[in-house]
């Protein structure tokens, strides 16, 4: 029997990308999956694809009441919440001297405050043996020109993960994060479709390729299962070694291309 078999799992941002790959893997390993996403129609379609008792819920992580209702409702309907994966995020780029305050705030609200809401309200309904995993980014440790809000939010999420692990350890709840590099999802199509940018990412990744959502999903499964029962407060780099080199200057490439 799988180490996650029968466990109630909430995947936020589960309708696409890393969240969807993780939802598929966790469901295949026997977990009961709730796909929570801002896109209610896509979440419902994904739950239908999974079958096997999978459910869908619309959630907006920037709205604390929405997050509270998600976790309290799931615990009430299914008896528990054992695994939470938070993949919600956005990057609204711009150089600091040009970046408008609304874009900065939106990025922090979704990537950092939203993660705070998720950790807070999932932990309130969880018991010993439960696991919370957040998706941070290579940009939690590597700065990138034009990514001020995203880098700041993801670095904050890495530290939030460690603080939560300290506070929730006495309840037996493990809190970890995964820090992916460039993973081929709809969010990064604009980067991977530009050859000079793609080449720069490849040159700065020792393993010489982009990540796939399934690469990260395998790490999610590990951190969600009893195989990692003595792991908490960890921010796990899954980036092909890209953290060993430098982050490409995406904005410079775009400026050159635009003339």
What are the Cα distances from residue 153, in Å, to 46, 65, 211?
28, 21, 22
The catalytic residue among 150, 175, 191, 234 is 150
161: closest CA among 137, 177, 181, 149? 177
Q: Catalytic: 150?
A: yes
Q: How would you class 63 by CB atoms within 10 Å of its CB: exposed for 0-12, middle for 13-18, buried for 19 or more?
A: middle
- Round to whole Å and give the CA distance between 180 and 66: 27
The residues, any chain, with a CB within 8 Å of residue 91's CB and separated by 6 or more, are 107, 147, 149, 150, 187
Count of all residues that appear for the chain in the document: 259
Measure CA 141 to chain center.
16
User: Annotated active-site positions, please?
Assistant: 150
């Amino acid at each position: 029997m799988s180490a996650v078999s029968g466990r109630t799992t909430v995947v936020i941002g589960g309708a696409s990308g890393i969240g969807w790959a993780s939802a598929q893997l966790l469901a295949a390993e026997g977990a009961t999956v709730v796909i929570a996403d801002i896109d209610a129609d896509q979440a419902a379609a994904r739950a239908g694809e999974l079958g096997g008792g999978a459910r869908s819920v619309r959630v907006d992580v920037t709205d604390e009441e929405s997050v509270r209702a998600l976790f309290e409702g799931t615990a009430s309907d299914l008896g528990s919440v054992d695994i939470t994966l938070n993949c919600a995020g956005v990057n609204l780029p711009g150089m600091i001297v040009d970046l408008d305050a609304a874009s900065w705030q939106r990025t922090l609200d979704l990537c950092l405050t939203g993660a705070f809401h998720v950790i807070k309200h999932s932990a309130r309904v969880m018991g010993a043996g439960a696991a919370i995993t957040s998706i941070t980014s290579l940009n939690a440790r590597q700065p990138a020109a034009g990514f001020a809000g995203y880098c700041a939010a993801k670095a904050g999420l890495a530290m939030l993960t460690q603080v939560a692990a300290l506070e929730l350890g006495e309840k037996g709840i493990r809190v970890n994060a995964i820090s992916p590099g460039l993973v081929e999802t709809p969010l990064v199509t604009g980067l991977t479709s530009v050859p000079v940018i793609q080449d720069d990412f490849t040159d700065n990744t020792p393993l010489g390729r982009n990540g796939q959502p399934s690469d990260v999903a395998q790490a999610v499964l590990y951190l969600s299962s009893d195989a990692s029962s003595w792991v908490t407060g960890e921010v796990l780099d899954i980036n092909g070694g890209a953290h060993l080199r430098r982050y490409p200057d995406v904005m410079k490439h775009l400026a050159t291309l635009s003339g």
